[in-house]
Structure 1
Amino acid sequence: MRNLFAPWRKTYIQNAHKKDRDCFICVAANSSNDEENLIVKRGNFAIIILNRYPYNSGHIMICPKRHVKFPYDLNKDEQTEIMYFLGLAVKVLETVYHPEGFNIGVNIGRAAGAGEEHLHFHIVPRWGGDTNFMSVFGETRVIPEAIEETYKKLKEAFSKI
């Protein structure tokens, strides 16, 4: 069995439980500044947003605009658009980054690793050997691309679809 360690996320997870902040997904969904909020695609019921603390370049999240915690809280329109966005996102990430695979997942609740109580689906492009000694031993992540560059690439690719 192989393990994916992400010690750089420790600070984020330790601070995510603080109640004195607004839900960053709700803030982003209700804002008109997509670039500042890293939104690369908007729909009627969902958004596609870059993860500010990515495991890899191209790590995105698909989120309902409405604040819900569980998949069973989604209505059919939200479910349909989120599944459509999942397929669309994989296609765009394949075109832009040419990964060898993907991790797609949902963390529900703090104990499961959710940093926000707003349902969101992670899509992480993966390549063989993408976790190396720097992240495992040095507690330093090596992301080969600035988040602004990732945003620019993906915003352009999503705008063409």
Structure 2
Amino acid sequence: MEQLEKVFLQAQPDCEAFAELLDQEQQALINRDMDELEKLLSAKAPLVDALAHHDLAIRTWCSQIGIAPGDGLEAHIRSSGAATLLEVYSAFQNALQRCQAANLRNARLVRHNQQATGRLLDLLRNQGEASQSVYDRQGVASRSGNQRNLTKA
């Protein structure tokens, strides 16, 4: 059990550091700061490796004693009566949940930005409203008599 407690003690600060980077990534995504995003990607790589190492250690420990990671591990820790281990595990779980929430938030932000960029590209390619085209596919001004409302341009 001491080995598992040690893994949780090492994993928690890594989770918290990763969550902090995800918060910074959110701001860089909002600002569309590609230079900052590249820096953050480089900073996240060693933490991803460390978290993968912690995950492997937890899974190995679980397989050695014949329990399933996740709910099985939590039930085992709760039934062990080791208050310190339960406290460390809970702190680790909280940090892990913060990482997951921040990662999902950033993924939604990326999808939103991709959709907005796609719509803008469609407008530039004249794929949005064919009947009110300003330019044809060759980039030549449309010869139709239809005037396009400025808000639709």
TM-score w.r.t. structure 2 length? 0.26
TM-score by length of 1: 0.25
Higher helix proportion: 2
Q: Pick the structure with more strand per residue.
A: 1
